């Protein structure tokens, strides 16, 4: 018998989220049943709930920054036991056979990874995410949360953390590298912490200087306002790597101009509209414009272990479920320091 659990659901693009109940599947031999303690609110949840990318399968329970404890395990589970502290990120399955899956880059599965929500699971039923009290996930897609990180501060690492850690590692952020993070929101603030811990020289590019004190405390060496045109002149040809976490469309040519020779700007934000890239901004300095999506399971575990070792968790504001809609509006208004996390015991 499937289990009925409490959840918060988005019924339609133009309606607020509301309390409901959903069913979780029976525990299969390889499944782990997780009592969810906390779920982060990622801007992707909002894009999906408001159908800003198109194709949302309503009704949907968002949430792909999940932290909790194992409540039960299937007969064949070997890696987890009841009571373990665990997390679930943006996907809960993949084909396990294609080249990316075999390389541990399951997020790029050629048959499409199975999203934690807004997807269809192997059993043919819609997937529902972390704004709920419990979830059942194949053990191969479950992460271990090290003891050093509190569950509420760990939850946002499952998406925001890996989304920044993966490109920082892929493009070699470390000592001697100048890295800029555009947007000091949920993704950006974790990126500052991780880039600093990797030894890079870190600059925050935020719309204003309002959050400068926080940015420097989180580990940034420099902080500039993109609302000031002087910033783009002063920082011309400066960075080896720019990670753009902004959820809205930016004049990307001006940001490319801040890359040094052979520098790369990595697009992490997923704005609603296509991006205009002026070719001149690329060819003048052999610059690259790239993208990156979350990270694989093995690298997500590596990231969690790295964060525990370096004392990194997200800066959070824990909210009760009845404040989810208000939190959405505040995220859209860039009024978040720096991640809302739902206490799922209030669902
Ligand atoms: P967030 O908390 O809202 O942060 C985005 C930040 O962008 C804001 O805090 C703000 O920073 C800046 N910003 C917002 N609107 C802006 C505008 N109109 N002009 C300039 N800057 C603006 O969102 P998030 O959860 O970090 O997610 C950011 C984006 O990444 C979303 O589009 C999300 O869907 C996407 N995402 C992608 C991946 C991936 O795998 N690539 C994973 C997760 C999320 P300042 O106030 O500092 O300017
Ligand atoms: Zn996310």
Q: Give the number of the atom of ligand 1 that is nearest the alpha carbon of residue 208.
A: 48
Atom from ligand 1 closest to the CA of residue 187: 26
**Hey, which CATH number is domain 3-159+314-346, 3.40.50.2000, 3.30.70.100, 3.20.20.150, 3.90.180.10?**
3.90.180.10
In the structure, what pLDDT confidence band is assigned to residue 53 with cuts at 50, 70 and 90?
A: very high
132-152 pLDDT, tens digit per residue, is: 999 999 999 999 999 999 999
Is residue 297 very low, low, confident or very high in pLDDT (cuts 50, 70, 90)? very high
Rounded mean pLDDT, 311-316: 98
pLDDT above 90 coverage of the chain, percent: 97
Cα-to-centroid distance, 28 and ligand 1 (Å):
37
Q: Is the pTM of this model over 0.75?
A: yes
Q: What separation in Å is there between the alpha carbon of 182 and the centre of ligand 1? A: 9
Q: Binning pLDDT at 50, 70 and 90, where does residue 319 land? A: very high
Nearest ligand 1 atom to alpha carbon 339: 2
pLDDT at 165: 99
Q: Which strand (E) or helix (H) includes residue 123? A: none
Residues 6+ apart with CB under 8 A from 262: 240, 285, 286, 287, 288
* Ligand 1 centroid – CA 334 distance (Å): 8
CB 243 within 8 A of CB 182: yes
List the residue whose alpha carbon is closest to atom 7 of ligand 1.
Answer: 246
To the nearest whole number, what is the mean pLDDT of the chain? 97
Say yes or no: CB of residue 185 within 6 Å of ligand 1: yes
Residue 2 pLDDT: 86
> Is 90's C-beta closer than 6 angstroms to any atom of ligand 1?
no
**Tokens 């801007």 appear where?**
43
| Matching CATH number, 161-291, of 3.40.50.720, 3.20.20.80, 3.30.70.260, 3.50.50.60 | 3.40.50.720
C-alpha Rg value of the chain to the nearest Å: 20
Q: Is the pLDDT of residue 204 over 80?
A: yes
For ligand 2, a single-atom ion, the residues with CB < 5 A are 42, 44, 159
Confidence (pLDDT) at 201: 99
Please give the distance, rounded to the nearest whole angstrom, from the Cα atom of residue 42 to the centre of ligand 1: 9
CA-nearest residue for atom 44, ligand 1, is 44
Ligand 1: residue whose CA is nearest its atom 35: 269
Confidence bin at 212 (pLDDT 50/70/90): very high
75-111 per-position pLDDT tens digit? 999 999 999 999 999 999 999 999 999 999 999 999 9
Read off the pLDDT of each residue in 2-31 and give the average, rounded to a whole number.
97
- Label residue 192 by pLDDT band (50, 70, 90): very high
Which residue, 331, 307, 71, 53, is CA-closest to 191? Answer: 307
pLDDT digits (tens, 9 = 90+) for 152-174: 999 999 999 999 999 999 999 99
Tell me what pLDDT residue 55 has: 93
Mean pLDDT of the region 209-235: 98
> Which ligand sits nearest to residue 190's alpha carbon?
1
**pLDDT grade, residue 122 (50/70/90)?**
confident
107 in ligand 1 pocket by Cβ < 6 Å? no
Q: Quick one: what percent of the chain has pLDDT higher than 70?
A: 100
SS3 of residue 57 by DSSP? coil
Per DSSP bridges, beta strands 91-93 and 114-115 are antiparallel
Q: pLDDT at residue 1 above 80?
A: no
Q: What residue spans define the domains of the chain?
A: 3-159+314-346, 161-291
Residue 70 Cα to chain centre, angstroms: 22
* From 232, 269, 271, mutation site for ligand 1 pocket: most ligand atoms within 8 A of C-beta: 269
């Amino acid at each position: 018998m499937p289990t009925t659990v409490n959840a918060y659901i988005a019924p339609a693009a133009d309606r607020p989220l509301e309390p409901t109940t959903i069913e979780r599947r029976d525990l299969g031999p390889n499944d782990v049943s997780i009592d969810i303690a906390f779920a982060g609110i990622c801007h992707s949840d909002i894009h999906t709930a408001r159908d800003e990318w198109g194709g949302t399968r309503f009704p949907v329970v968002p949430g792909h920054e999940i932290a909790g404890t194992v409540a039960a395990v299937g007969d064949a589970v070997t890696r987890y036991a009841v009571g373990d502290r665990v997390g679930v990120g943006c996907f809960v399955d993949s084909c396990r056979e294609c080249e990316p899956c075999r390389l541990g880059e399951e997020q790029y599965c050629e048959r499409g990874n199975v999203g934690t929500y807004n997807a269809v699971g192997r059993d043919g039923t819609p997937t529902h995410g972390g704004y709920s009290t419990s979830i059942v996930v194949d053990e191969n897609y479950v992460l271990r949360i090290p003891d050093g990180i509190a569950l509420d501060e760990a939850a946002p690492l499952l998406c925001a953390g890996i989304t920044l850690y993966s490109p920082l590692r892929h493009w070699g952020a470390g000592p001697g590298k100048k890295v800029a993070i555009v947007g000091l929101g949920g993704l950006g603030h974790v990126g500052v912490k991780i880039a600093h811990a990797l030894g890079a020289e870190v600059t925050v590019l935020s719309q204003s200087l309002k959050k400068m004190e926080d940015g420097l405390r989180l580990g940034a060496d420099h902080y500039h306002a993109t609302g000031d045109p002087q910033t783009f002149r002063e920082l011309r040809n400066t960075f080896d790597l720019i990670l753009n976490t902004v959820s809205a469309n930016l004049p990307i040519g001006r940001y490319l101009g801040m890359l040094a020779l052979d520098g790369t700007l990595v697009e992490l934000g997923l704005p609603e509209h296509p991006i205009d890239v002026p070719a001149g901004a690329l060819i003048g300095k052999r610059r690259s414009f790239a993208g990156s999506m979350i990270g694989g399971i093995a690298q997500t575990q590596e990231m969690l272990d790295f964060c525990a070792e370096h004392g990194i968790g997200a800066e959070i504001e824990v909210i009760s479920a009845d404040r989810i809609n208000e939190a959405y509006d505040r995220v859209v208004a860039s009024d978040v320091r720096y991640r809302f996390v739902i206490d799922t015991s209030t669902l």
